[in-house]
Amino acid sequence: MTLRQPDHYDIAILGGGLAGLSTLYHLERAGKLVGKRVVLVDPEGKKTAHDRSWSFWEAEPGPFEELVHHQWPLVTVHDGTRNLDCDISPYIYKLIRSTEFYAHVNKVIDQIEGLERLDARAEEVRAEGNTVRFKVNGEEMEADLAFSSLPLHLRPRQISAPYLDQHFRGWFIETKEDTFDPGRAALMDFRTPQHGEPRFFYVMPFSKRSALIEIAIFSNNHLETAEYDRLIETYIYDHWTKGGYEVTHAEDGNIPMTTYPFPLRDRNLIYIGMRGGATRPSTGYTFYALQRQLTDLADQFPNLDNLAPWPRKHLLYDATLLRILQNGELPGDELFVDMFAANPPARVLAFLNGETSFGQELKFMSTTKVSLFARRFIGELYKTLRTSS
């Protein structure tokens, strides 16, 4: 009896969300997929829906500039006593909706002559020798190289790295009266009961009568959907409008915020997206850093020596901040509003994007509660050195 040989591909993309699609997009735009047999494996098939939105800030036009749904040169930051207006130049705060992203990216990757889409889940993924093997609907397959964004499910109590979930829910609303300033977004508004954990709202206006209003909570205790909705409704009534409005769309999700040392690769199995540590641990933002990482990856391909999405020093900074928040040593509203009150807004955003020089970082850190941050930084550095030794 002859055993059937597994289907063989040059490149496999395991997971067709933001990371998987972006990887294919950048490789195709860089001309690196000519003559390659490629497979994209995702149980949801070709995505088209408005299932999420990505916000980020950048100083120069990015690779998806034409897809930006709205942008804001000004942002505000609030707590119970402070209301900060911030000109974030040279940065601009931007939002891209998944509908436009999926349509644009699918148009590009559909031009890949050797692309095959499999509407199924990749299972039993493992690196073996110089190939990566996986199963699709029980059938064995293999690839010379695979990029996987399949999630790694961490249990916070079983890892030593700091860990907080950022769970969120947002409403797209249309008001009956002029309510918003479409040139100004609320980046962090902590004017909601904190209950011992960082809770804040984003407000991203698209016109005087339409906006995305989203609550984000940094904690490992999630709420029922009705409770998120109650908080959003109360916030809108207290701070925006007591008039009527319509909720046209809602979105929710969860982003793990941790400095857990996600492996970047296992031989020819490359981890991307959240699975590869592309999410900024201290903020939960992913889109900008992921596109920066994958643009560089595509330019250097097939050289895959430089995969790290964040400099090591920034992971130490984030471990320090997350540990302080997780331990409850400094309230989140005080910590984040202090950052913007004591620094030029562009310095804060550059720091959170991992784009600061060491001199800028020293200036930034000098505005924090130095003794607390220094103690926690030394503690996290010691844990990192002990783990790596």
> pLDDT (tens digit, 9 = 90+) per residue, 273-295?
999 999 999 999 999 999 999 99
- Same domain membership, residue 318 and residue 241: no
Would residue 336 count as lying in a domain?
yes
Full-model pTM: 0.93
User: Of residues 170 and 384, which shows the higher confidence score?
Assistant: 170
Q: What is the mean pLDDT of residues 341-357?
A: 95
Would residue 360 count as lying in a domain?
yes
- Same domain membership, residue 327 and residue 289: no
CATH code for position 205: 3.30.9.10
CATH code for position 33: 3.50.50.60
- Same domain membership, residue 202 and residue 336: no
H-only helix segments in the chain: 18-29, 98-109, 225-239, 287-300, 312-327, 332-342, 345-352, 358-365, 370-388
- Same domain membership, residue 116 and residue 26: yes
Give the rounded percent of residues in the chain with a pLDDT score beyond 70: 98
Q: For all residues of the chain together, what is the average pLDDT?
A: 95
Domain end, chosen from 267, 300, 333, is at 300
Would residue 65 count as lying in a domain?
no
- Same domain membership, residue 326 and residue 367: yes
Tokens 């695979």 identify what position? 146
Residues 6+ apart with CB under 8 A from 259: 161, 162, 281, 315, 316, 318, 319, 322, 380
- Same domain membership, residue 119 and residue 41: yes
Tokens 């807004």 identify what position? 345
Q: How many structural domains does the chain have?
A: 3
- Same domain membership, residue 35 and residue 108: yes
Please give the C-alpha separations between residue 167 and each of 10, 202, 220, 383, in angstroms, as whole numbers: 37, 13, 9, 27
Q: What is the mean pLDDT of residues 171-194?
A: 98
- Same domain membership, residue 292 and residue 248: no
Q: What is the mean pLDDT of residues 18-46?
A: 97
- Same domain membership, residue 241 and residue 177: yes
Would residue 78 count as lying in a domain?
no
Does the pLDDT at position 387 exceed 80?
Answer: no
User: Model confidence over 109-150: pLDDT tens digits?
Assistant: 999 999 999 999 999 999 999 999 999 999 999 999 999 999
Q: CA triplet 154, 159, 164: central angle to 5 degrees?
A: 65
Residue 382: pLDDT band with limits 50, 70, 90: confident
Please give the C-alpha separations between residue 299 and each of 136, 149, 167, in angstroms, as whole numbers: 30, 20, 34
Q: What is the pLDDT of residue 389?
A: 58
- Same domain membership, residue 246 and residue 198: yes
Would residue 74 count as lying in a domain?
no
Taking the C-alpha atoms of residue 192 and residue 207, their distance in angstroms, rounded to an integer, is 24
Q: What is the mean pLDDT of residues 168-195?
A: 98
Q: What is the pLDDT of residue 133?
A: 97
- Same domain membership, residue 217 and residue 251: yes
Grouping H, G, I as helix, E, B as strand and the rest as coil, residue 377 is helix
User: Model confidence over 139-164: pLDDT tens digits?
Assistant: 999 999 999 999 998 887 778 899 99
Q: What is the extent of the structural domain holding 266? A: 7-46+98-152+259-300
Would residue 81 count as lying in a domain?
no
Residue 217: pLDDT band with limits 50, 70, 90: very high
Domain end, chosen from 273, 300, 327, is at 300
Would residue 42 count as lying in a domain?
yes
Taking the C-alpha atoms of residue 81 and residue 79, their distance in angstroms, rounded to an integer, is 6
Q: What is the mean pLDDT of residues 200-220?
A: 98
Does the pLDDT at position 2 exceed 50?
Answer: no
- Same domain membership, residue 366 and residue 223: no
Would residue 331 count as lying in a domain?
yes
Q: Which helix (H) or strand (E) holds 144?
A: strand 139-148
